[in-house]
Structure 1
């Protein structure tokens, strides 16, 4: 069965956004971007909430038309446009760019999405991730830990009282100091070696 895989950048002190939704501290250079292009390009689809989808849809559909765009940026623009996307939203009614909008991320809706996907699904967005995590629906975590301490912001993992046993699958250090930590839920790892 397909897996739901959370991809998220996070500061060393655990924030995915700084104050005022600041993400300028992200250190996504060519090496990190090419890694993400390779991994995300192999996924069967993208899953997000409305806020994350709209943030991505504001930039990626035409990012490769900018003459100053780096080749890895242009490559991801093509990946993003072509990849099937599912947005869970109670307010958004429709979206462009190969996107399906579903009203609620219930366990049943997520199970149906996974069953139909034909491969793993990349999850973006901390709010949706927290909802899915509460139901045990996030199978893997691909965290890009950036070498910065923000001191405040929005934590990726809120103190919600939902414990989860994880197994480290792999790590990778990038030249710019970003470190990939890839984990699977212990039960998922045992079920899908």
Structure 2
């Protein structure tokens, strides 16, 4: 069965972006980027909020046309272009080729898309992931912890009414110090 997966890079102190939306601190070298590609090419669709979609759409559709972007970066441009995308936005008027614009997160609709997809749904965008989390739609978290303390920025996880139990599926350390912590959500209460 397909899963809904949140894949996010964070600093050791839990921020997914620094002050002024800075993400220059991400340590994505060829090894990490190839790891992303190897997993993401098996996905069924990218599910994104407006901000994430616009940032990705601004760069990736033609990134492989720049000779400076070779190897895993050029490879990801093709993955991005070919992957179906579902974009949640109340303000966008239209989205690009291969993308479907949705206005509201409907749990039944998301589950139908997940079940019909050719692989996992990769959900991106902190606000959208938070909505999916509140609706109990996230099956797995892939948290890439980067070896940096930012001190301030925007934390990935917001406040929640309830505790969520997680089960560690995998941990992996990359050569550049990035650590993957892969968790599945645990339906059992965290207090049990």
Query: Scaled by the length of structure 1, what TM-score is found?
Result: 0.94
Paired position in structure 2 for 1:80: 80
1:38 match: 38
**Contact 1:64/1:74 (<8 A) preserved:** yes
Partner SS, residue 187 of structure 2: helix
Query: Are the counterparts in 2 of residues 64 and 73 from structure 1 also a CA contact under 8 Å?
Result: yes
Structure 2 partner of 1:94 = 94
Deviations 1:85-109, CA, capped at 9 Å, x for gaps: 1001111132113101111112122
**What whole-Å deviation, never above 9, does each CA across 1:26-48 have from its counterpart, x for those lacking one?**
00000000000000011011001
Q: Which is worse superposed, 117-126 or 137-146?
A: 117-126
TM-superposed CA distance for 1:186, in Å, is 1.3
For structure 2, the 5+ residue unaligned runs are: none
What residue is the counterpart of 1:21 in the other structure? 21
RMSD over aligned Cα atoms: 1.2
CA distance in 1, matches of 2:155, 2:77: 28
Q: Does 1:179 align with 2:179?
A: yes
> Quick one: distance in 1 between partners of 2:14 and 2:172?
18
- After TM superposition, where is structure 1 displaced by more than 3 Å over at least 4 residues in a row? none
Q: Within 1, Cα distance between the matches of 2:177 and 2:84?
A: 32
Does the Cα contact within 8 Å between 1:90 and 1:103 map onto a contact in 2? yes
The aligned length equals 188
When normalised by structure 2's length, the TM-score is: 0.95
Query: Structure 1: 5+ residue runs without aligned partners?
Result: 189-193
